[in-house]
């Protein structure tokens, strides 16, 4: 089963910066309120996957992307499993997916 999270429709067309204290629609808000709960639900279920759809927004600050996917990488640890469980869709900016995958691979310091 595949669930799609469209950032534009399920979160905001105007994603913000890094933390909640930076302003509305931050990376922290998206990760904690939307992405992590969904991933927690499907993490141990081998038949469930998530597609994160980046299209339809006004764009992404580097801090938004790095906050979401560094936290993801830090919390869920298994990077290859993350990449199996989550598909990334970005037809409007294909290079964004490469940037996300690089961020997931980046070494996290606790």
Partner 1 sequence: MKKISRKKQQYFIRKSKKNFTSNKKREYKKKKKRLDDLQKRINEKRSRKFANNPNRVKHNRLTAPKNFSFLENLGETISFFEKATESFSNKTAVYFDLSQVENLTIETVTYLCAFVKNTKIVNSTPFQGNEPVNKTTKKMIIRSGFYDFVHTNRPQERIDDKYGRIINRVSRTRVEPELAGKIALSAIKHSYGSKDIKDLKKIYEILIECMANTKNHAAGNNKQKYNWWLLAYKEHTTKVTKFCFLDIGIGIFDSLEKKHKNNSLSKLFKQLFVPNDHLETLTNIFGGTRKSSVNLPGRGQGINHIYNNTQKENNIKRLVIISNDVLAEIGYNQENKIIKIDSNFKGTMYYWELNPNE
59 binds partner 1 (CB under 8 A): yes
Number of residues forming the site for partner 1 (CB under 8 A): 30
Question: Rounded to whole angstroms, what are the CA distances from 43 to 35, 59, 76?
Answer: 12, 28, 9
Reported as half-sphere exposure (CB side, CA atoms, 13 A), residue 37 has a value of 7
Say how far apart CA 2 and CA 63 lie, in whole Å. 27
CA nearest to 29, candidates 42, 43, 15 = 15
**Binding of residue 23 to partner 1 (CB under 8 A):** yes
Can residue 57 be called a binding residue for partner 1 (CB under 8 A)?
A: yes
88 binds partner 1 (CB under 8 A): no
- In angstroms, give the least distance from the CB of 77 to partner 1: 15
With CB under 8 A as the contact rule, the residue among 5, 7, 18, 35 that binds partner 1 is 18
- 34 belongs to the binding site for partner 1 (CB under 8 A): no
């Amino acid at each position: 089963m595949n669930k799609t999270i469209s950032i534009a429709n399920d979160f905001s067309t105007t994603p913000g910066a890094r933390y909640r204290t930076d302003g509305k629609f931050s990376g922290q808000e998206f990760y904690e309120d939307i992405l992590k709960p969904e991933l927690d639900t499907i993490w141990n279920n081998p038949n469930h996957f998530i597609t994160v759809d980046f299209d339809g927004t006004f764009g992404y600050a580097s801090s938004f992307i790095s906050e979401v996917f560094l936290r993801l990488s830090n919390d869920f640890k298994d990077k290859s499993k993350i990449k199996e469980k989550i598909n990334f869709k970005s037809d409007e900016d294909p290079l964004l997916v490469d940037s996300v995958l690089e961020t997931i691979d980046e070494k996290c310091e606790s």
